[in-house]
Amino acid sequence: MTKNPAFHKRDPQYKKAKRQGYRARSAYKLLDIQRKFNIFKRAYYILDLGSVPGSWLQVAKEIAEENLEKYKDANYHRDYYRIMGADLKRISPLEDIKIIKMDITTPEFQAEITSYFDDKLDLILSDASINKTGNKFIDQVRQVNLCIKILVLTKFLKKKGNFIIKCFQGEDINKFYKRMKLEFKVVKSYKPKSSKKNTNEIYIIGLNKN
Ligand SMILES: C[S@@+](CC[C@H](N)C(=O)[O-])C[C@H]1O[C@@H](n2cnc3c(N)ncnc32)[C@H](O)[C@@H]1O
């Protein structure tokens, strides 16, 4: 997020998000990822990690609602969607979405997942981000450590489920990438077009959980 609010408000993506009713411009990163990898294919049970202010939850709900209509066929289908969003900070309510204010790296959070979803998840999204110190090296190491803790939650994914997670580019990312390869058949890294050029954020996409 930019430190200059006046500059932020002049940003075309920010203005577009406001016009389209999204809580943040980050919505377009998720939409870019969806266009490229179709991560939401047959996704109804969705967990969003690090959700504040909630634009990814808005996108997830739109696509899950479309999926209820789109995939009425003999293949995998659920009759309703379930979406849960979690953050350390308070998330403003969104209709039909379960919201939790909690540290996603705790055992208590895992208990919340089990009690809300009566079956395994189809998709996990993580845009969770550490509080940056400004030191790229330290921030990258801390973000990778957060990613490693979040990766544990993929045990709640169904077989063939999908996962995306925000990471920061740097040396340690290879360590995380290797761990992802143990869990998913296909692993890719991607910087969405709508991600600011001056950030080192990158998304790691895990498709087809083993
Ligand atoms: C970039 S924001 C997410 C933006 C969101 N995807 C959206 O579209 O509105 C990252 C969030 O991750 C949250 N976060 C970081 N570490 C967390 C943790 N351990 N538990 C819960 N939330 C965490 C932060 O509080 C922050 O709100």
| Ligand 1, atom 22: closest residue by C-alpha | 87
Distance 179 CA to ligand 1 centre (A): 22
Tokens of 159: 């077989």
Residue 183 lies in a domain: yes
| pLDDT at site 177 | 95
| CA nearest to 97, candidates 148, 66, 57 | 57
Distance 75 CA to ligand 1 centre (A): 34
| CA nearest to 156, candidates 197, 187, 113 | 113
User: Backbone phi, then psi, for 152, in 5-degree steps?
Assistant: -55, -30
Is residue 194 within 6 Å of ligand 1 at its C-beta? Answer: no
Is residue 129 within 6 Å of ligand 1 at its C-beta? Answer: yes
Distance 128 CA to ligand 1 centre (A): 4
| pLDDT at site 4 | 58
Domain span holding position 161: 5-198
DSSP the chain: --S-HHHHHH-HHHHHHHHHT-SSTTHHHHHHHHHHH-TTTT--EEEEES-TT-HHHHHHHHHHHHHHHHT-SSSS--SS-EEEEEESSPPPP-TT-EEEES-TTSHHHHHHHHHH-SS-EEEEEE---PPP-S-HHHHHHHHHHHHHHHHGGGGGEEEEEEEEEEEE-STTHHHHHHHHHHHEEEEEEE--TTS-TTS-EEEEEEEEE-
Residue 46 lies in a domain: yes
**Res 88 pLDDT > 60:** yes
Count of structural domains, the chain: 1
Residue 141 lies in a domain: yes
Of residues 83 and 119, the one with the higher pLDDT is: 83
Q: What is the pLDDT of residues 13-30, one digit of tens each?
A: 889 998 999 999 999 999
The C-alpha atoms of residue 156 and residue 184 are separated, in whole angstroms, by: 13
Residue 56 lies in a domain: yes
Q: What is the pLDDT of residues 138-173, one digit of tens each?
A: 999 999 999 999 999 999 999 999 999 999 999 889
| pLDDT at site 5 | 60
Residue 208 lies in a domain: no
Provide the CATH number for the domain around residue 191: 3.40.50.150
Residue 207 lies in a domain: no
Residue 137 lies in a domain: yes
Residue 205 lies in a domain: no
Is residue 55 within 6 Å of ligand 1 at its C-beta? Answer: yes
**Res 12 pLDDT > 70:** yes
